[in-house]
Amino acid sequence: MICGVSRRDLIRKFRALGYAGPFSGGKHQFMKRGRKKIRIPNPHGNVDISVSLLKEILKQAGIKDSEWDEA
């Protein structure tokens, strides 16, 4: 089940899924896996990344809910 995550946990899980980074970009940092490039939300204090934003990021990355839960 997907729930909101901290930015640190988002980065940790993306690394577990084979992404490298985060790297500095224009306005946002990003992570890469092959030709896929995913923007990482900027830190906003201790506020978690919402479920809706997380689902949008996973959709762009082509990551299924089950893959995310196992990472």
pLDDT per residue as tens, the chain (71 positions): 677 899 999 999 999 999 999 999 889 999 999 999 999 998 888 889 999 999 999 999 999 989 999 98
What's residue 4's pLDDT?
82
What's residue 25's pLDDT?
82
Question: Is-contact 40 60, C-beta < 8 A?
Answer: no
Domains of the chain plus CATH, in order, are 7-70 (3.30.920.30)
What's residue 36's pLDDT?
92
What's residue 44's pLDDT?
81
What's residue 59's pLDDT?
94
